[in-house]
Amino acid sequence: MKVILINPYEIGRQPFGLAEPAAWLARAGCQVHCLDLTLQRLDPEVLRDARIVAIYVAMHTATRIALEAIPRVRAIAPQAHLCVYGLYAPMNEKRLRDLGVQTVLGGEVEPALVSLVQRLRAGDGKRQTEPVVNLSKIEFLTPDRRALPPLARYAHLQLPNGGRKTVGFAEGTRGCKHLCRHCPVVPVYRGTFRVIPVDVVMADVRQQVAAGAQHISFGDPDFLNGPTHALKLVQALHVEFPDVTYDATIKIQHIIDHAERLPELKATGCLFITAAVESVDDRVLEWLAKNHTNGDFARAVQLCRAAGIALAPTFVAFTPWTTLEGYVALLKRLLELKLVESVPPIQLAIRLLIPRGSLLLELPGFEAHIGAFDPGLLGYPWKNPDARVDRLQLAVQDLVMQAEEKKSSRREIFASIWNLAHEALGVDVPVLTDTDAGAPIPRLSEPWYCCAEPTHQQLQCF
């Protein structure tokens, strides 16, 4: 049986979310083809005789692109059974089924994909019998990356000295044990996570190093959900590949709680940690259930610097609670902590996304902030009580997009945002100095972020 796995978008990664299902499906005797729409177009010759087309939606952006691609897939391959799987599939099940998607899967999807193959072989393809969300423990196989584009075509690591490294992308766990109210992982995993055995992860790393990887970016929602497992993994990585570096995503809370482990992360090759700080307003952090404070953010920066690891914070800069004063306070905090060079400018334009199932909807009185669910947005629209804040968000977003097209530096873009924010507040713009920005850090060529509107270029990839 011919199965096509499609990745619409995943921030420049060679997707584990295609490679792991590919291994399961190949073991089930399927002929598996992979398409990554960030690098490839929908090929009618590849799709035409497909029995199953399964589209992977790990992000909001990926889901928006998938919605645009589905009618095209149906036109090219009307005989194919359409499946959409991944984090954003269950929360958008109704919209997907309205477009003719027959199977919708989330969580640990691999057994369900094999079950779908078996159903179709038996002539039963009309009704989904597999659970929409499966959180059962599964057997992880070594991901099959053979049908994916080469690593050199994906995001690379940019070093402060101007050098670059080819990046591999691996996962040590799935899901997350935390319940941050705005996080898209929570509606599916509900506080659970699954450990991928060290030998499986290392087999995946091994094949990527053989394919040219010099740095591994771990895609776990939180690398220290299982700290013992994480340390075993990086120790094994360093023993076998002492010259291979890595990065990981870790909660501010975990950086502080496991501060004694930071020197070992450094010794095993960790260059930087991505941390979802989200806000420097303690009230907003409490509403988001982040379990850290603005003071904890500063403490985490100090701990990482003491260990020799760069911290790359991410933010949801615009929420229904954001004020102009609060946004300026965020910019000032980045200057105080000398983190301007550590923050991708797009992070200063991110607007809160509220999908179906978001725990934000359980906050008392939160419904007053939002409108009716918008199928086009794939979320609940909201407006800030101060219209100037929404205008500033649009202005910052436009500024960042234009400045990045011009290859402006992070310092230059920050300075422009600094001016915009103070002008919006109607106050004098303080003068910035070169020493305010901090030193450049290692970073991936495609910035990490969890929700944003797809660009025109991305939507044209099929």
454 belongs to a structural domain? no
Residues 191 and 106 in one domain: no
Residues 97 and 206 in one domain: no
* CATH number of the structural domain spanning residue 323: 3.80.30.20
Residue span of the structural domain in which 420 resides? 156-445
58 belongs to a structural domain? yes
Residues 39 and 127 in one domain: yes
Residues 182 and 272 in one domain: yes
Residues 86 and 217 in one domain: no
If one counts the domains in the chain, the total is 2
221 phi and psi angles, rounded to 5 deg: -55, -35
Nearest-angstrom CA–CA distance, 245 and 233: 13
CA–CA distances in Å: residue 446 to residues 195, 208, 311: 27, 19, 16
Residues 324 and 440 in one domain: yes
Residues 128 and 198 in one domain: no
Residues 210 and 266 in one domain: yes
Nearest-angstrom CA–CA distance, 405 and 196: 38
- Is residue 356 classed as helix, strand or coil in its secondary structure? coil
Nearest-angstrom CA–CA distance, 331 and 308: 24
Q: Are the C-beta atoms of residues 106 and 18 closer than 8 Å to each other? A: no
Residues 174 and 93 in one domain: no
Nearest-CA neighbor of 84 among 110, 58, 109, 57? 57
pLDDT digits (tens, 9 = 90+) for 304-331: 999 999 999 999 999 999 999 999 999 9
Which residues lie below 8 Å from residue 92, measured CB to CB, with a gap of 6+? Answer: 57, 63, 355, 356, 378
Nearest-angstrom CA–CA distance, 451 and 319: 13
pLDDT digits (tens, 9 = 90+) for 57-107: 999 999 999 999 999 999 999 999 999 999 999 999 999 999 999 999 999
Report if pTM > 0.85.
yes
Nearest-angstrom CA–CA distance, 368 and 361: 10
- What's the chain's Rg over C-alpha atoms? 22
CA–CA distances in Å: residue 114 to residues 8, 109, 121: 21, 9, 11
Residues 268 and 188 in one domain: yes
Q: Please measure the distance between the N-terminal and C-terminal CA atoms of the chain and give it in whole angstroms.
A: 24
Q: What is the pLDDT along the chain (462 residues), one digit of tens a residue?
A: 999 999 999 999 999 999 999 999 999 999 999 999 999 999 999 998 999 999 999 999 999 999 999 999 999 999 999 999 999 999 999 999 999 999 999 999 999 999 999 999 999 877 899 999 999 999 999 999 999 999 999 999 999 999 999 999 999 999 999 999 999 999 999 999 999 999 999 999 999 999 999 999 999 999 999 999 999 999 999 999 999 999 999 999 999 999 999 999 999 999 999 999 999 999 999 999 999 999 999 999 999 999 999 999 999 999 999 999 999 999 999 999 999 999 999 999 999 999 999 999 999 999 999 999 999 899 999 999 999 999 999 999 999 999 989 999 999 999 999 999 999 999 999 999 877 889 999 999 987 554 444 443 334 434
Under DSSP, the state recorded for 218 is E
Residues 11 and 62 in one domain: yes
* CATH number of the structural domain spanning residue 98: 3.40.50.280
CA–CA distances in Å: residue 311 to residues 68, 300, 431: 36, 8, 25
145 belongs to a structural domain? no
Residues 342 and 433 in one domain: yes
450 belongs to a structural domain? no
Nearest-angstrom CA–CA distance, 402 and 413: 10
50 belongs to a structural domain? yes
